[in-house]
Amino acid sequence: MSQEDKKLSCTDCALLNCHKKDKTFPQFCLTTHTSEETVEEINELYRKDDFVSKLSNAAAEIEGTYYGKLTRVEEIIAFAKRIGAKKVGIATCVGLMSEAKTFAKILSAKGLESYGIICKVGAVDKTQVGVPEELKVNKGCHESLCNPVLQATLLNEEKTDLNVIVGLCVGHDSLFIKYSEAPVTTLITKDRVLGHNPAAALYTSGFYYRRLLQEGDI
């Protein structure tokens, strides 16, 4: 697609007037191009839908009260309590079990019950669901698939009030979110190369990871 044919979006904006309305909106701005009816329909959802209102107000309260003061661990605890959550589900990667166990201890110390499910739950070999042997990390032996759908199913059975992702793989997190009945937030986003700090690739894309900006496939 040529630059002339590209449909502009928020990532093309240099003004960010939607934040404080202290500048002008660009011609392609989604704020000015979204109908008043659509905006008002969404506003009504925030005002009148109990679930949406509870979560959005809790998030706004935490942001306004603790901006730049709390770690994400603490923000999740504050959020859980403000939405009335009693039982927090932990959907964890096998490689971050130590971190998940620490998080569970912290939740307990703050008066919240937790229930954790590891990604390898079910111990189903990858080949049983159609993954070819050659795509295993360690070929020629049993290698359990990551099972986010089962993680979500078991946490649904536990009737958790809030589920927290701890390092699920790209794509597996998507499936977990899709099948979780409780609202989902993320504590750790997995990045095996950058110590679970994926933003570091963006910060260093001008030098160490400049290959990211080169055209072509990964």
pLDDT at res. 2: 62
Fold of 72-218: Rossmann fold (3.40.50)
End-to-end Cα, the chain, rounded Å: 19
Which regions of the chain are under pLDDT 50?
none
pTM, full prediction? 0.94
| Domain residue limits, the chain | 26-69, 72-218
Mean pLDDT, all residues of the chain: 96
pLDDT at res. 5: 77
Q: What is the distance, to the nearest Å, from the Cα of residue 61 to the centroid of all Cα atoms in its chain?
A: 20
Give the Å distances, CA to CA, from 124 to 133, 144, 145, 175, 189: 13, 5, 6, 17, 24
- Condensed to tens digits (0 to 9), the pLDDT of residues 200-214 reads 999 999 999 999 999
Give the Å distances, CA to CA, from 65 to 12, 69, 70, 90, 103: 31, 9, 10, 26, 23
